[in-house]
Amino acid sequence: MRLSFALLLTFAMACGLSRPVLSHHSHSMFDHEKEVTITGTVTEFSFRNPHIFLFVDVENESGEVVNYWIEMGTIPGMIRRGVGAKTFQSGDAISVNMYPLMDGRPGGSYHTIVAADGKTYN
């Protein structure tokens, strides 16, 4: 009985003294030495934690439509930059300057976004 109490007390103290661990992925998947600009049409705007995502259809050189996914910042960070839940809508024409994915897939981490009305988000 005494051992069980000691273990329980030790566990409770460890839980009380520990701090929550916040994990986050690195941005090493993006090529920060290169910037690419795409122009296309918004297909989806996902305003959710932990990051906001923007999906954009872009016509490539051969006329095929390619869907790019653009990783943006956190909700609080993007709100400070003027981006809200309804800033981008499906069908909006936009231009995105981004750091592309290292593996060549269609996507990247945004640097700036220019909306059809000329407003710039960075």
* Residue 89 belongs to domain with CATH number: 2.40.50.1010
What is the spatial distance between Cα 35 and Cα 33, in angstroms, rounded to a whole number?
Answer: 7
- Please list the pLDDT of the chain residue by residue as tens digits (122 residues): 555 666 555 555 554 444 444 444 556 789 989 999 999 999 999 999 888 999 999 999 999 999 999 999 999 999 999 999 999 999 999 999 999 999 999 999 999 999 989 999 99
Residue 22 located in a structural domain: no
- What domain count does the chain have? 1
Residue 12's Cβ-side half-sphere holds a number of Cα atoms within 13 Å equal to: 6
Beta-strand pair 36-46/93-100: antiparallel
Residue 13 lies in a domain: no
Enclosing domain of residue 111: 30-121
Inside any domain, residue 92: yes
20 occurs within a structural domain: no
Report if residue 9 sits inside a domain: no
